Amino acid sequence: MPHFEYSQVLETMSSEARNSESIGMKPFTKAEEKVQTAMFVHTGNMDTLIVSFAGHDHMFGMIPRFIFVNFFEKHFSNVDRHFYIDTRTCSYHKGIPGISNTIDETAAYLKTTIAPYKRVIFLGVSSGGYAAILFGSLLGVSTVLAFIPQTIRYVTRNVEEKYRDLLPYFNSNTQYHLYADTSVKREHDPHHVSQCDRFAIADNVTVIKNKKIDLRIMRDSGELYRIISELITPY
């Protein structure tokens, strides 16, 4: 099967997709024009797609970073992967620079990109988990995997009010796997376990509670591989 290296995908994204009216690409602002906000790895396998949404805490040294890139290349290189970054740090409420400016525009764009696949998994951490739940619910994807996600935003700025609370967009056909951190004690902390508990309203929502959610430890112990393998293998 053909495999596009990351550099080739980035080049394609910059020279073709960014200017494509057919998929609704939006112009970058001057400050954002040098920041890559999407990356695609295509294997030729149209069976399963994994879509990763980065959270705010993955902005190291003001340099935005995609998450799970190396992990998926090592363990799931036969699966197509799409990666997104929210450089505007508003839980994707202001869209993805170069792609969209609103949640509805982002959802419309994602609907087009995931359409060819039989099964789609959205995943993210923190605000990326919020995005995975939001867009996964709106689009009815197969599975959502979210670590310490928000399901309601308590902020007063940069929030599209109708999407502040994700409960109204709950999808009974999507399988939700939410990982909560019980060590967070402040109830209005965006990572408090209540963010997951309030979304567990049906049998298709599974909330897994750990004393501490540390993705590096989960990666190194093999737990992260097991979690994702169990979501992919049944397919």
173 CB neighbour count, 10 Å cutoff = 9
Residue 194 is predicted with a pLDDT of 92
Rounded to whole angstroms, the Cα distance separating 55 from 130 reads 9
Q: Quick check: 144 and 120 in contact, CB under 8 A?
A: no
The pLDDT mean for the chain works out to 82
User: Could you tell me the fold of the domain covering 6-232?
Assistant: Rossmann fold (3.40.50)
Residue 82 is predicted with a pLDDT of 95
pTM of the predicted structure, to 2 decimals: 0.83
CA angle 161, 167, 173 (to 5 degrees): 130
Report pLDDT digits (tens) over 82-119. Answer: 999 988 888 999 999 889 999 999 999 999 999 999 99
Residue 144 is predicted with a pLDDT of 98
Torsion of CA 228, 134, 176, 143, to 10 degrees: -50
Taking the domains of the chain in order of start, what are their residue ranges?
6-232
- Average pLDDT of the segment spanning 175-198: 91
DSSP SS3 for 111? helix
Residue 57 is predicted with a pLDDT of 59
Residue 47: CA atoms inside 13 Å, Cβ hemisphere, count? 8
- Beta-bridged to residue 120, according to DSSP, are 49
Amino acid at 152: I
Q: Which residues fall within 8 angstroms of residue 172, CB to CB, at 6 or more apart? A: 202, 204
Residue 234 is predicted with a pLDDT of 59
Q: Quick check: 10 and 39 in contact, CB under 8 A?
A: yes
- Quickly state the pLDDT bin for 28 (edges 50, 70, 90): very low
Report pLDDT digits (tens) over 201-217. Answer: 999 999 999 999 988 89
Q: Quick check: 48 and 108 in contact, CB under 8 A?
A: no
Report pLDDT digits (tens) over 119-171. Answer: 999 999 999 999 999 999 999 999 999 999 999 998 888 889 999 999 999 99
